[in-house]
């Protein structure tokens, strides 16, 4: 009997470990990949190439790190960092996909490029609309920021220099995450932790800043789409979930203590909706911002060469301007 008991213990814990799930509990169609996007965009931009997933020299990657767990459901990230140096500034990256699709793998090339430039990058997965609607994604990103700050020493991160950035829907999520510091609606775990989920910079790469304007609703509340991407995330069309559409719009949260923000935009104007209105609110408050538009580009320019490296250059330059001379090893 004693031998049986001893055998049971490791088997029991092995079974518990297997019970953790890292994919959505209910499968759904998720086709937003760099490969699929390439097939669409190469017709209009024949010179493009999918950016390489290969890990460059001088960068190390730790994959499939769990940063938060809800019951059995574990959310994971990939950590990209320079092999040399310490006390690095960090970026939490949020992929796009219309709030209901996409993979963190899509941002692997950008994460590698930023690590080459001296940043520690947490490239995260988060709960998409078919699994959990707004504001769950914001909760997840704040949890990732908190996790990174909690493990700053282990991963050579300067906890006082963390940016949150994202592409497309991820850009909107990053903006909302960064601008809502201290708001329990967007960070219900803050009351249970002494570790801050605040960030010191926001990187919005072709993401909306407003869902509620007439221009935004023309695309995001299109009645021919049942539901639209935004409607799927908010759980209904604008007329049905007006309050949530407002709550999801970063432009309504501008305040004097918000972090500086970088806007990187494509030539597709619809994805910059709300940016200028948001900047108009920021200017009188003296909030630092920078806008760069890449001409003659598809919406998803960051997935492709020749735009990957210029995108990383713009991000690095912006963060260097903010943080130079303050003790971090930004190269």
Q: Which domain holds residue 62?
A: 2-210+249-323
Task: Specify the number of domains making up the chain.
Answer: 1
- Residue 225 covered by a domain: no
* CA atoms of 92 and 131, how far apart (whole Å): 21
pLDDT of residue 15: 44
- Residue 238 covered by a domain: no
Mean pLDDT of the chain: 93
Identify the sign of the CA torsion 300, 94, 18, 133. negative
Residue 18: pLDDT band (50, 70, 90) is low
- Residue 258 covered by a domain: yes
Peptide bond into 135 cis (omega under 30): yes
pLDDT above 50 for 59:
yes
* CA atoms of 204 and 272, how far apart (whole Å): 10
How far out from the chain centre does Cα 118 lie? 19
pLDDT above 60 for 21:
yes
Q: Which pTM value belongs to this model?
A: 0.92
pLDDT above 80 for 279:
yes
Q: Name the phi and psi angles at 252, rounded to 5.
A: -85, 0
Give pLDDT tens digits for 143-168: 999 999 999 999 999 999 999 999 99
CB 304 within 8 A of CB 38: yes
CATH code for the domain in which residue 110 is found? 3.40.50.1820
What single DSSP character describes residue 310?
A: H
- Residue 217 covered by a domain: no
* CA atoms of 172 and 170, how far apart (whole Å): 5
- Residue 52 covered by a domain: yes
User: What are the helix (H) ranges across the chain?
Assistant: 2-18, 34-41, 108-116, 136-150, 169-179, 214-220, 229-234, 242-247, 275-282, 308-323
Q: Name the phi and psi angles at 229, rounded to 5.
A: -60, -50
- Residue 15 covered by a domain: yes
Contact partners, residue 174, CB within 8 Å, separation at least 6? 92, 94, 141, 164, 165, 166, 202, 203, 204, 207
CB 202 within 8 A of CB 175: yes
CA-based angle 144:286:159, to the nearest 5? 25
Give pLDDT tens digits for 202-212: 999 999 999 99
Give pLDDT tens digits for 231-271: 999 999 999 999 999 999 999 999 999 999 999 999 999 99
- Residue 180 covered by a domain: yes
What single DSSP character describes residue 21?
A: B
Give pLDDT tens digits for 89-137: 999 999 999 999 999 999 999 999 999 999 999 999 999 999 999 999 9
- Residue 124 covered by a domain: yes
């Amino acid at each position: 009997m004693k031998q049986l008991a001893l055998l049971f213990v490791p088997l029991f814990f092995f079974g518990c470990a297997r019970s953790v799930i890292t994919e959505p509990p209910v499968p759904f169609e998720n086709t937003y990949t760099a490969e699929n996007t390439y097939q669409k965009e190469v017709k209009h931009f024949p010179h493009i190439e999918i950016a390489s997933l290969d890990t460059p020299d001088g960068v190390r990657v730790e994959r499939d790190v769990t940063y938060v767990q809800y019951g059995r459901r574990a959310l994971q990230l990939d950590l990209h960092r320079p092999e040399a140096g310490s006390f690095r500034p960090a970026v939490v990256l949020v992929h796009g996909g219309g709030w209901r699709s996409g993979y963190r793998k899509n941002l692997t090339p950008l994460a590698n490029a930023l690590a080459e430039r001296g940043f520690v990058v947490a490239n995260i997965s988060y709960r998409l609309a078919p699994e959990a609607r707004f504001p769950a994604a914001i909760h997840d990103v704040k949890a990732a920021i908190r996790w990174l700050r909690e493990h700053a020493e282990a991963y050579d991160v300067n906890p006082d220099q963390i940016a949150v950035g994202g592409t497309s829907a991820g850009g909107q999520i990053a903006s909302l995450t960064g601008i809502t510091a201290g708001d329990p609606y967007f960070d219900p775990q803050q009351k249970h932790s002494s570790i801050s989920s605040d960030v010191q910079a926001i990187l919005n790469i072709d993401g909306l800043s407003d869902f509620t304007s007439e221009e935004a609703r023309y695309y995001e509340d299109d009645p021919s789409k049942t539901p639209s991407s935004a409607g799927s995330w908010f759980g209904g069309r604008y007329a049905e979930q007006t309050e949530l559409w407002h709550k999801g719009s970063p432009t309504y949260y501008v305040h004097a203590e918000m972090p500086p923000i970088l806007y990187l935009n494509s030539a597709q104007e619809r994805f910059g909706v709300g940016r200028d209105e948001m900047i108009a609110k920021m200017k009188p408050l003296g909030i630092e911002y920078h806008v760069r538009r890449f001409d003659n580009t598809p919406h998803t320019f960051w997935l492709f060469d020749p735009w990957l490296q210029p995108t990383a250059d713009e991000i690095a330059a912006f963060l260097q301007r903010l943080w130079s001379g303050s003790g971090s090893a930004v190269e």
